[in-house]
Amino acid sequence: MKKSLLALAAAGAFAGAAQAQSSVTVYGILDVGFVGASAKANGNTNAGTTSANVGPGNTAPNGTGAISSAAVNTSSFGESAETTSRLGFRGNEDLGGGLGAFFTIESAVSVNGQNNFSWGAASNRLAFVGLSKKGVGQFAIGEQYTVVHNAAAATDPGQLNNMPGNVIYDKMAAFGNTQAGQANGTATSNYYTQYSQFFGQGNNSSYTVRSGNMLTLKTAPMAGFVGNAFYMTTGSNASQTGQVGQGAVTGGQNSNNGWGLGVDYTWQKLLATANYQSFKSVGPSNLGANGVIAAGTPAVGATTTVPGFGGASQLGITNTNDTQQYYALTYDFGILKAYAQYINRTITSTLSANNDYNRSAQQIGVRSFITPKIESWLSGGTGKVSFGNLVNTAQGNTPTANFVGWQLGTNYWLSKRTNLYGIYGQQGQNMRSVATTTGGNAVANAANYGPVSYNASSYALGVRHTF
């Protein structure tokens, strides 16, 4: 009898231990508050123009040489100013011998929207499963962050919040759905989103955040080094024929492929990271009404977002090479943590080397606990964006813009999971080169080249709770 009881107890203990080896965690973030923003953009000016469309989203009488402009002031209760609200499930299982399995599935949630939960492609953030080996590393397959985004998340003074003013992780969240374009009395919608690639400060125009169909690899720490890599693909059977301005691009299917490499080095209070990733999209679609790319046609159009805007999981433009690199240093001085960052992105048409987009930016910042409950950060940076062959080549002018941005934020921690926050940011475009002609000739495709100058400021006051 005693042996039976002991055996039963041992079996129960074993079953309990086996069950404890697997766990699932429900987690999330809810971020709500009050957000205000103001911005103004001035378009092309050209005395003697014969074009009725002098600038994006605005019209003027023929020959008036008017300046196109748009302004917006907006304020409302909003959400996700500091961190995108989300709901996720994370699990892991101990398989024994240092081997483990893990998964994550995460979706953005809307606190103020009617559809609070949505698991569609637009709101899907993460969904992957993988295996890990103690002392070796791990791999995972599914919807995941890129190496550049993971590195930026660890080395950004504002922790990649969604407010304007950060030149590395540029965001337009403060403008919500009431962005100008309609502010100047036209029917053009979403003015600042549509032309944000010309500002240099748009909605994450600096790098691709995440991608589906991705295999990621991460090594265990070795002498302070950690290696990261990924490979993604959505097909490899695309083909293209014809040349710029001649024939058509035919056959095959859309093919999106990408890869990335990154390395992190930690030494005492220093963290250094270097990352490079490249995407290529090839396909016969989205090449214009006649299926060809005519000479001088931009690889990045005014009404087509750059691939990766807003963290899109798919490349947005076919027939492009998209390379992105990110380098950063952080050092913890104890009383504050210092940051230095650099990012570059180049997108080139596979059909015309002259059709390209280039954006680079550098930023410095600090973050510190002023008191045990008050945490603040400050960042500032500059950058440049340029477009090759966007205008008639006879004009010999390549649109470029220099931009600046800075941001100040504070958290007041009520507990380890709940904080009040205030964030203020400014950004602007301080120089612009545009193509114009005089003597009665029209501005060449003026509507495609965005504003001459642009300035914006925004603030957010809110509460964030993590669970």
User: Does the pLDDT at position 375 exceed 50?
Assistant: yes
Would 361 be classed as within a structural domain?
Answer: yes
CATH at 356: 2.40.160
pLDDT at position 346, please? Answer: 86
Query: Do the Cβ atoms of 91 and 103 come closer than 8 Å?
Result: yes
Report how far residue 205's alpha carbon sits from residue 170's, in angstroms, rounded to the nearest whole number: 7
What pLDDT is attached to residue 387? 67
Mean pLDDT of the 180-201 span: 42
Q: Tell me if 121 is assigned to some domain.
A: no
| More confidently predicted of 193 and 138 | 138
- Answer yes or no: is pLDDT of 397 > 90: no
Q: Mean of the per-residue pLDDT values for the chain? A: 73
Please tell me the pTM assigned to this model.
Answer: 0.80
Residue 3's pLDDT band (boundaries 50, 70, 90)?
very low
With a cut of 80, say whether residue 419 has pLDDT above it.
yes
Query: Among 49-53, 93-97, 239-243, which range has the highest average pLDDT?
Result: 93-97
Q: What is the DSSP string of 110-176?
A: -SSSS--B--STTTEEEEEEEEEETTTEEEEEEEEE-HHHHHHHHH-TTTT-SSTT-SSS---GGGT
* pLDDT tens by residue, 240-270: 444 444 444 444 456 778 999 999 999 999 9
Handedness of CA 53, 296, 349, 252 (dihedral sign): positive
Range(s) of the domain holding residue 171 = 24-85+133-466
Q: Which two tokens stand for residue 65?
A: 């040489």
pLDDT at 287 over 60: no
**Does a structural domain hold residue 109?**
no
pLDDT computed for residue 21 by the predictor? 64
pLDDT at 284: 53
Residue 456's pLDDT band, with cuts at 50, 70 and 90, is confident
Distance CA 135, CA 25 (A): 24
Q: What is the mean pLDDT of residues 183-200?
A: 42
Residue 67 located in a structural domain: yes
Q: Could you read off the pLDDT of 7-19 as tens digits, one per residue?
A: 444 444 444 444 4
Q: Is the pLDDT of residue 432 over 80?
A: no
Q: Of 145-149, 163-167, 311-315, which range is least confident?
A: 311-315
Q: Report which secondary-structure segment, H or E, holds 41.
A: strand 22-42
Has residue 114 been placed in a domain?
A: no
Strands (DSSP E) found in 299-437: 320-332, 337-349, 356-369, 374-388, 400-413, 418-433
Q: Which residues is 424 bridged to in the sheet?
A: 408, 459
The percent of residues in the chain predicted with pLDDT above 70, rounded, is 59
Residue 165 lies inside a defined structural domain of this protein: yes
Task: Return the structure tokens found at 143.
Answer: 């919807």
Task: State the DSSP code for 252.
Answer: S
The answer to whether the CB of 425 falls within 8 A of the CB of 163 is: yes
pLDDT tier at 199, thresholds 50, 70, 90: low
How many folded domains does the chain comprise? 1
pLDDT digits (tens, 9 = 90+) for 76-89: 898 899 999 999 99
pLDDT-based confidence at residue 428 (cuts at 50, 70, 90) = confident
Identify the residue whose tokens are 């602007």: 428
Is pLDDT of 309 > 60?
no
Res. 66: pLDDT tops 70: no
pLDDT at 348: 78
In a domain, 16, yes or no: no
Is 128 within a domain? no
Residues 6 or more apart whose Cβ sits within 8 Å of residue 188: 56, 57, 58, 181, 182, 194
Least reliable range by pLDDT among 32-46, 111-125, 366-380 = 111-125
Nearest to 422 by CA among 456, 467, 385, 375: 375
H/E stretch holding 3 reads helix 2-20
Q: Mean per-residue pLDDT for 395-399?
A: 51
